Amino acid sequence: MRISVGKGSCGIAAGAAEVYDILREALGDTVTVTGCIGMCYLEPIVNVDGDTYVKVDKNAAGEIIKLVNNAENNAKANLIKQEDIALLNAQHRIALENCGVIEPENIDDYIKRDGYTAAKKCITELTPDLIIEQVKISNLGGRGGAGFPTWFKWNAAKNSLTADKKYIICNADEGDPGAFMDRAVIEGDPHAVIEGMLIGAYAIGASEGIVYVRAEYPLAIKRLDIALAQAREKGFLGENLFGSEFCFDIRIKAGAGAFVCGEETALIASLEGERGMPRLKPPFPAQKGYQGSPSNINNVETFANIPWILRNGGAAFSALGTEHSKGTKVFALTGKIAKGGLVEVPMGKTIRDVVYGVGGGIKDGKQFKAVQMGGPSGGCIPYELIDTEIDYKTLAATGAIMGSGGMVVMDESTCMVDMARFFLDFTCKESCGKCTHCRVGNKRLLEILERICAGDGVEGDIERLSELSNEIKDGSLCALGQTAPNPVLTTIRYFKNEYEDHISRKKCTARQCKPLLTFVIEPDKCIGCTLCIKKCPSAAISGELKTAHVIDQEKCIKCGECATVCKKNAITS
């Protein structure tokens, strides 16, 4: 019997550590650990010989112990529902094929699922050119955001003869708000990333690999460190791999968490001990990268796809997806989604397929309003475009981007002006400050948005936002500045009426911008129950029992607590 507890970061946050300890104490070594299977909304998750139990607390853990011991129990109360199984089965998992299935700290679990067979085949049977050819056939685009052909980067680094040593670097500096794909892959299947890097290193002739991962991911770093030690012990890293002359090893670099270090030249600067700031290209990293040597940089998801591609052939991967975007893509579903977590679907699926077919739709039965794709560098896609296919070309046409795979879902309660302000606030804080357009221009954008949300918007602000956004896009050095105005431009493009409401009518139709709200008690609905008086933190409400109450607008701090407790919906804003 095998019992596994999902102990990714999401599972631990939901209480999986306590559940694991309870089960382990009672059932011993039969209890193991897995990473996140993607259904974060059901954590903690426990699997007992193929049966999945969800939202397992300490009481449910006790029922599972009774079940295993063949005692009378009520464990079935926590059995996963068929509708949730259907959402999982609607996916096509390649990068996530082992996540939530294997024990990430046990290399033998990975080996049992054909782990390192692709690396062995590449090093003992294939030439670097044949490996790159398979990656070319797969048409795998970099999953870090740009979708640039992976084979092209590998080939450029392979053909670079400017130094004696080459490096292969894994970019695990995942910084988008709402994105956690890379973290989950490393926590759940670190050996897939190691094997992908190993294959890439052999293809380009690199002798050293570096995983640049943000220090905010301690569990990912811990499991990756364990996996590296196990791979060395098994002879998959180190000297004369698989009996060949090829030598390769990997080390971890914990970054300080700067969003700009997701840009490859800024990442290299950070690796070298400098402040993470981008530089002009060319030269490209393939010619002059880390320590001035040819270097190749791909992100976690890109490397996690490589073993599958080399095991199954590039054609099998390219058979999935669209003309312009092949294979699958991992997305982190967050926001107002009913069933948030990690999903992996073939390119070409629509936003509707992901939000409703895999994510279960919108929370609390509310209406889908928009989805922010590509993080702070992306754009808001409205309901009218919900049937847009997910590939690099079609998403770019909407004004959004694929990005690393964050999907922040919004319902009718979301203010799009405030959403643009939120993302601009993030990019302003994360700007390295090297170029004026990004450092100063985005700050000016933010100031205008803050003014509009505060009720101080003036005629001409929309035009100022658009003009300044385009200047920032044209004048910024790296992709952070070039894409930072995307949330502003797309919200103006699709939700201009909300900007006009804020500026001209001084109204926030989503009721999120507090300075634009005025709470009023409708006397014909108020029954004088006094609940709002008791709840009001500023003593702004007055009235006698069973008589209509009144709000003193000068005292009102617009917290909305009164409207929350009113059972008759007598308080409007």
CA-wise closest residue to 191 among 143, 233, 138: 233
Rounded distance between C-alpha atoms, residue 86 and residue 227, angstroms:
32
Rounded distance between C-alpha atoms, residue 377 and residue 442, angstroms:
12
Q: Which two tokens stand for residue 505?
A: 């009518």
Give backbone dihedrals phi and psi of 362, rounded to 5 degrees, phi first. Answer: -95, 145
Least trusted range by pLDDT, from 77-81, 176-180, 362-366: 176-180
Q: What are the residues whose beta carbons fall under 8 Å from the beta carbon of 268, sequence distance 6 or more?
A: 169, 285, 289, 290, 295, 297
Q: What is the pLDDT, as a whole number, of residue 162?
A: 76
Provide the pLDDT confidence category of residue 164 given band limits of 50, 70 and 90. confident
Containing H/E element for 315?
helix 314-318
Angle between helices 416-430 and 486-500 (to 10 degrees): 150
Whether the per-residue pLDDT at 145 is higher than 80: the answer is no
Bin 375: left if φ > 0, else alpha if -120 < ψ < 50, else beta. left
Rounded distance between C-alpha atoms, residue 548 and residue 381, angstroms:
43
CB 495 within 8 A of CB 475: no
Q: What is the pLDDT, as a whole number, of residue 243?
A: 94
Q: Parallel, antiparallel, or unpaired for β 249-255 and 295-299? A: unpaired
CA-wise closest residue to 493 among 407, 400, 425, 390: 400
Long-range CB contact pairs, 227-231, < 8 A, 24+:
227/104, 227/105, 227/107, 227/190, 227/191, 227/194, 228/194, 228/252, 230/107, 230/191, 231/107, 231/191, 231/194
CB 2 within 8 A of CB 32: yes
Q: What is the pLDDT, as a whole number, of residue 274?
A: 94
pTM (2 decimals)? 0.93
Domains of the chain: 3-89 (3.40.30.10), 107-317 (3.40.50.11540), 328-411 (3.10.20.600), 416-505 (1.20.1440.230), 518-572 (3.30.70.20)
CA-wise closest residue to 270 among 297, 303, 301: 297
Give backbone dihedrals phi and psi of 552, rounded to 5 degrees, phi first. Answer: -80, 110
Percent of the chain topping pLDDT 90:
89
Q: What is the pLDDT, as a whole number, of residue 479?
A: 86
Percent of the chain topping pLDDT 70:
100
**Partners of 4 in beta bridges:** 32, 47
Q: How far is residue 286 from each of residues 25, 247, 265, measured CA to CA in Å?
A: 52, 20, 11
